[in-house]
Structure 1
Amino acid sequence: AGAKHGFRNAQVSVIAPTGTIGLVMDCDTTGIEPDFALVKFKSLAGGGHFKIINQAVPTALKSLKYSQKQIENITEYALGRGTLKGSPSIGHKALREKGFSDFEIDKIEAALKDSFDIRYIFSTSVLDVDFCKEALGLSSEQIQQHGFDLLPIIGFSEQEILEANIFCAGAMTLEGAPHLKEKHLAVFDCATPCGRTGKRALSAKSHVMMMAAAQPFISGAISKTVNMPALATIGDCQNIYDLAFDVGLKSIAIYRDGSKLSQPLNSAVFDDASLNELDDVMAQPQARRTEKAAEKIVEKIIERIVEKPTERERLPDRRTGYIQKASVGGHKVYLHTGEFENGRLGEIFIDMHKEGAAFRSLMNNFAIAISIGLQYGVPLEEFVEAFVFTRFEPSGPVIGNDRIKFANSILDYIFRELGVSYLGWDDLAHVNPDESTPDQLGQGEAERSPGPGQTGEQLFLPGYSKGFNRVATTDENVVPFAQKAANQPEADELDLVLDEGNMSEMDTNLVAGSGLGGASTVSSASTARFQGYTGDSCTECGHFTLVRNGTCLKCETCGATSGCS
């Protein structure tokens, strides 16, 4: 059908000459896509890596009539020897003169085999910090400094380091290799300059012309990246697109070397005082440019962090809060809270045991540490997540708290209470205030409704935090209004009718904010939630959130089961 009526939105053949495909084919290059570099690092599945040279290099050298000994010398120049033994600049003798022992030299030699830069071997990841301090005389400030480079510090020059790198890790390029003739260098050109000292590379135009040679024989496009140097301009990119159009290419992709770090390399990182440094960096190979740019970026980030230290937020002298008394495993615990003016928790005090007891002192100091953290801006959520579910004695049933009925430790109880009161994390509580359980105290309906002969005083809770307001109404925590209701309701009325005309504006606001005004009844949704749980506590986390799961029980909080599901 396609041959008869023609094809639409379909291609007979395309080429994807990527490096990945070449790797699967065990080829260094598919031809249209030149090799990215002569020396590459292959990662191993079990960890580590090793260097490999383009497998076509020895074959090409042999075709160019080089002897086997010359081929070995050229390959050794590119790959390196993997040792500093016999190095003319930084050898074993030079290291011993600097204070290195045979033990330290052996450690360095073991790490040099697959290294690509000896600078990374002469670091605290290989050498002990104590050795650097005692034998080499370095200070802690020098060792901890960002970009720590040991070799220049102990007296080796950049030229000596470069020579040692070429001797040990290889030049990763054939430029400057012994025995190799200048006229043969073009045979080994790659997509980008190779190694630290390489300067030769295929031009962007040559990439396009290679694609143009194959395009007439392919109905579709050629998926290939045209590599451009880091100094390429927008105009250079435009010229390549124009050339691709002129030679009849159907698609083209351009990648400018180091483009992901092009912005940090400008004056935003290198200020006016370091323009000379910028020129030096841009003249170096890409790997060194990237390293320098990363150092500049890290320096600027660190400077901004140090410029604005966190300040401690002080609480007002007269502060609000609440006191919660409870017993955890038979041990009385008094939790005092202090709040900022906006109601946010700012400090806690924990009282338990007799004066002078060691555990009491520990808890007091722990509370001070938490309070300082809160005042320096540490979110309460972080403390709650860190200390909830901590397990140590005393632990057990909690008596005196209307929401929490079991705690794994004192800290578990304290931060459950704070999480419920200040964060609204009701999942940390064992009792929902809306649940109608047999032992529920209710919402104080009977206390709010005046009986026969009563004056109709309005009762309210003057709480400033949820931790106080959530407590059920009792005779010990209610305060009567000074103003009386003008019309007294009958005893059988469910709701208390308030005469706002006889109350001040402040009293009206207090009633509205007390959370107990109006006809508060158990909603159908709350009843459904109540019927969904069995009422038993979880043996793992202590929550009363067990539900039936077949013939077993499953905790919806921690996921624990009774063992048969």
Structure 2
Amino acid sequence: TCWAPTGTISFAMDCDTTGIEPELALVKYKLLAGQGDAVIKIVNQSVPRALRTLGYDKEAVERIVAYVEEHGTVVGSPVLDESHYPVFATSFGSNNVLLWQAHVKMMAACQAFTSMAISKTVNLPENATVENIMEAYVLGWKLGLKALAIYRDGSKRSQPLTTKEKTGEGALDENAQPADRASVRKRLPDERPSITKKISLAGHEGYLHVGFYPDSGEPGEIFITMAKQGSFVSGMMDAFATAVSIGLQYGVPLETFERKFKHVQFEPRGFTGDPDIPVAQSIVDYIFRYLGRLMEHRGQSGARTIELPGDGVEQPADRVLVSAGAEGPPCPNCGDITVRAGSCHTCPQCGTSTGCG
């Protein structure tokens, strides 16, 4: 192809448009490659020159340019004559927009003066249909073009040039309220205190590693290593621990994880060999009941209490049934979950039986 400059080269050469392209918009934003969501605002520098050519004086030119910078279009300017609107028509925008056929016809007018194809994109609006795109190619063929590139506005998640400062998922909502708390990840230092706990549940063995922040003593990471490496349980526990660790480092309280995951039931389940938590409904259930007790013993989370209905006695919150899918009713003595023992239910914490009658 020929008829450069195109793309970034045109900006380096301080051109308002690329090749024989019409202006995308009088005010546009260019996404900077490798800079995340960073953009630069580009205002067409040919507008003042065109206005002077049309006979507007200095004061009128300044007023129109100021209007363009604020509104991104000349339409509605109290100074500009409406008959001059077509001079400032652009490819994209909500008004004063060139039809896509004008792009093709401009290329056809220039094709006779070059032996190669023209580097030019035919811009179609966001609401363009498949039929419109087919019509553009057919029209280009009829007019003798050697190549034709089509782009529908908004068809890509991000595009180098846009008429908005931010689009898509990164768009700024003027009515959005500021976040209550900044989502900043607080990583643990290279050296931090930690503990390692051996896990044994229904024949599955492994280790729970908990790392703490040195300044606050709060947990900031957990690792779960199961003995059967490569197994489904091992892989799921590894991924689960990573997700929980990231949540802790972003400020999610351990108590939130406790409320969500204590008493969750799935295999393997059964006896743990831990005198404080002799029976667990799953590995996840055991881990978060253990972490809750650990933090209470470390004096970090404090004793959280809740009143059980009907007895007026306050009980530790980690002994209250929180899962609707629990295997048995709450223990009438301590409020913990009970497990089936034959036709009865027995509390694994205090040993109370609900009776077999």
Q: TM-score range by the shorter chain?
A: 0.3 to 0.5
Which of the two has higher C-alpha Rg?
Answer: 1
TM norm structure 2? 0.47
Higher share in strand: 2
TM norm structure 1? 0.31
Higher share in helix: 1
